[in-house]
Structure 1
Amino acid sequence: MDCIFCKIVEGTIPSTKVYEDDRVLGFLDIRPSAPVHVLIIPKKHIPSVTEAEGEDFSLIGDMHRVAQQIAKEKGVAESGYRLLSNSGPDSGQEVFHLHLHLLGGEKLGSVNG
């Protein structure tokens, strides 16, 4: 498989990990869009939320639990943070491995258009 996030999970591409358990990995984005920008991924390859099925939904719940924990550890839980997940090419998804962007550390602009 030629998935950059799978290679990060395998350890063949380095990353700055901020969280890891047997199902979920959190690491710093190499092109941050905010002072705090962490990517949270399942270790299982799921291309996007559109392809999730069955047990994958408990894994997505785990990703959100991890996001909550990281937000607290990074000091953005109280001031606020954004969780973003793109699904499909028209959304701007660049890496086709399900992931959450946790963004915070500054006042973020509106996404309401």
Structure 2
Amino acid sequence: MDCLFCKIIQGEIPSAKIYEDDFVYAFRDIDPKAPTHVLIVPKKHISSVNELEAEDTALLGKVYKAVQTIAAEEGIDKTGYRVVVNTLSDGGQTVAHLHFHLLGGRSLTWPPG
């Protein structure tokens, strides 16, 4: 498979890894939009939210537990943060592998985009 994030997870492409377990891999975004901008990626290749299956429910729970852990490690768990999932091109998804953006470290405005 020619997936950028799968190659990062497999170590074929370097990344600034900050978290890894059996199900999730997280690394710093190379073009950060906030002082803390981490990409949290399930190791299972899922192209987008549209491709989620019922069996992926537990995996999503593991992703959000990783979000919680990383937010605490980054020191943004008490001040607040945002978790963003872009889906398909109009949603801003640029890599066809489900991933979660963890943003924090400053006051985030609304609405985004």
Whether the TM-score (by the shorter chain) exceeds 0.5 is yes
Q: Deviations over 1:51-98 (max 9, x none)?
A: 010221211111111001100000001100000001111101100100
Aligned length: 113
Identity across the alignment (%): 56
What's the Cα RMSD here? 1.2
Aligned to 1:93: 93
* Counterpart residue type for residue 110 of structure 1: W
Q: Distance in 2 between matches of 1:19 and 1:55?
A: 23
Q: Which contiguous aligned blocks of 4+ residues in structure 1 show a shift greater than 4 angstroms? A: none
Aligned to 1:60: 60
Aligned to 1:21: 21
Q: Distance in 2 between matches of 1:96 and 1:83?
A: 18
Q: How does 1:38-53 map to 2 (within 5 A)?
A: 38-53=38-53
Matched residue of 1:55: which SS?
A: helix
TM-score, normalised relative to structure 2: 0.96
Q: Which runs of 5+ in 2 are unaligned?
A: none
TM-score, normalised relative to structure 1: 0.96
Q: Which runs of 5+ in 1 are unaligned?
A: none
